[in-house]
Amino acid sequence: MVVLTPLLCLVGIFKLAIGVPVDAPLPLPISDLVFRGELGGHEVEFNGTIQEVYAQVAATHPSFNTRSQLDTNIALAAASPIQITKRNKAHHFCNQNIGKPWLPAKVTYIEDGIKYLSTSPYPLPHPPLYPDLTIPAESKGKCGVQSGHCARISCSWDSAIFLCNDRLDFIEPSCAYLASYAEDLIDWCKTEVSGMGSAVAGQLFDTDSYNVLVRYSNC
């Protein structure tokens, strides 16, 4: 999979030269996130961003409290031991190193999305990860996306995390594992943008033929 076609690269270079903001399209069509798993003691299956999933759970189960669930995610994470095993993360691109094809997201709101996605017990923020290591956990939530599509798995205040599936079949990795991709992109690609503060845009690939992309998105 290529990030940008040569034509898009040429268009991006021209726009940068004349000072026009650039925001390249996603590499695949967009479809809904399919969330399956446990939230607040309820087994659920809903479509939408993780924030929309939490809202649907709250509407269906009045006892569910989003703030309490987020606090529980973080508390369980902090109390859980760290285990290191091999991972499948491959190469990555940072927006500022490939001609800035995407508008960046605000780091603060991407970090909020990470908290929503981290529905399994491992620490947030995690210690620095080595290129061939990760911190797995038994996930209480799976983030699914159709074959040949990108799902916007998190979005708030115009700051989004996408899961893009290059495979020929439906996939549903652990939401918490995908959150670690967004964390890595913050670690590697964070930059300071005038009038915005800390911002990030980038793409991180997995050897299982999917990738996570962090960038601006209208929401």
Q: 22-40 pLDDT, tens per residue?
A: 678 998 999 999 999 988 8
Give the pLDDT confidence score for residue 183 in this predicted structure: 92
What share of the chain in percent tops pLDDT 90? 61
Do the domain assignments include residue 4? Answer: no
Print the domain residue range for 110. Answer: 28-216
Give which of 150, 145, 147 is closest to 30, Cα–Cα: 150
Q: What is the pLDDT of residues 5-25, one digit of tens each?
A: 333 333 343 343 334 456 789
* Residue 152 maps to a domain: yes
- Would you say residue 20 lies in a domain? no
3 or 87, which is more confident: 87
Q: How far is CA 207 from CA 79, 194, 212, in A?
A: 30, 35, 12
pTM of this structure: 0.80
Q: How far apart are CA 70 and CA 145, in angstroms?
A: 23
Of 91-95, 100-104, 119-123, the least confident: 119-123
- The residue-averaged pLDDT of 146-175 equals 96
CA distance 189 to 179: 15
151 located within any domain: yes
Q: Is residue 10 in a domain? A: no
pLDDT tens digits, 33-78 = 999 998 888 999 999 999 999 999 999 999 999 988 888 777 665 6
| Count of domains forming the chain | 1
* Phi, psi for residue 160 in degrees, rounded to 5: -125, 155
pLDDT, averaged across the chain: 81
**Residue at 191 is within a domain:** yes
Phi/psi zone of residue 203: left (φ > 0), alpha (ψ -120 to 50 degrees), beta? beta
Provide CB contacts within 8 A for 10, sequence distance 6+. none
* Residue 108 binned pLDDT confidence (cut-offs 50, 70, 90): very high
Residue 204 lies in a domain: yes
pLDDT at site 73: 74
Q: Please report which confidence band the pLDDT of residue 98 belongs to, taking 50, 70 and 90 as the band edges.
A: very high
Kindly state the greatest CA–CA separation across the chain.
Answer: 54
Alpha-carbon span 56 to 104, nearest angstrom: 28
- The number of helices, as runs of H, and strands, as runs of E, in the chain is 5, 14
Residue 120 within a domain = yes
